[in-house]
Amino acid sequence: MDSAVLLDILGNENRRRILRLLSHKPCYVTEISEYLGVSPKAVIDHLRKLEEAGLVESRTDNQRRKYFNISRNLRLEVDVSPYEFDMKSAYPASPNLDVSTCQYLSLNVQYGNTRSGDAESVSDAEAGEIASLAEELNCLEELKSELSLAQRWVHGRITDVLDQLSEEVDETGQNAIRSEILAALAAEAETVGEISKETNAPEHVVEGHLATMAERGIVERNDGHWTLSG
């Protein structure tokens, strides 16, 4: 789903409260209505929009009572800074993802195997596995907090670096696009088309800024390919 549409759907407080409630347990309309303090009709309308977005789904029990539950994991990220307004939605990565291949990320997490099925009593081995899973859950919760803190730190550092870079390459302080162009060049984009794609800026705009920075010796051109000077 488009992130802008998703952000609009989640912009409603009552829909967020519904999701918060459903994250604890499946509920039927009357339960949700009592929890929110709004009419069942309003709840049904909110649930319809959440269903259309694929965030919740419903099932009917033996008493023909319709229960709603969250259908899938989803992460919505919104970045707001003087240089950027961006939002993206992401679904969980494949369980087979090898995070050790991430260039800037090092995780020290031991993953165990989960087991399914309920029993009235558990053996010592099963009790040990339950304890191990509980420890892993705690470890992952701490890791999530650390990653969130790291993301906030990175976001702040990006803004600081863009501030410094803008001061160096732009006399007016009004063209943040130049910092993005330089970042694209650092990421090995070479042609105007490649830089335009990386910065989401029209090619004629990119060409104009490249020409201005070339006059100041910040970038240089060779056979139609642009690079950082030095």
Asked if the domains 3-70 and 171-228 are classified in one and the same CATH topology, the answer is: yes
Every domain of the chain and the residues it spans: 3-70, 93-156, 171-228
Buried/exposed 23-50: b ≥16 CB within 10 Å, e otherwise: eeebbbbebbbeebeeeeeebeebbeeb
| CATH class of residue range 3-70 | mainly alpha
- Judged by DSSP in three states, 53 sits in coil
| Interval 72-111: pLDDT, tens | 888 888 888 877 788 888 877 777 777 778 887 777 655 5
| Interval 154-195: pLDDT, tens | 888 888 888 888 888 876 655 678 888 999 999 999 999 999
* Per-residue pLDDT band at 196 (split at 50, 70, 90): very high
Amino acid at 172: T
- The token pair at 37 is 């303090």
Which pLDDT score is estimated for 111?
53
> Alpha-carbon distance 208 to 204, whole Å?
6
Which pLDDT score is estimated for 109?
58
> Alpha-carbon distance 18 to 50, whole Å?
9
| Interval 41-75: pLDDT, tens | 999 999 999 999 999 999 998 888 999 999 988 88
> Alpha-carbon distance 218 to 203, whole Å?
19
**Could you tell me which CATH number the domain at 171-228 has?**
1.10.10.10
Which pLDDT score is estimated for 17?
95
Q: Return the DSSP state at 24.
A: T
Which pLDDT score is estimated for 118?
52
* Per-residue pLDDT band at 225 (split at 50, 70, 90): very high
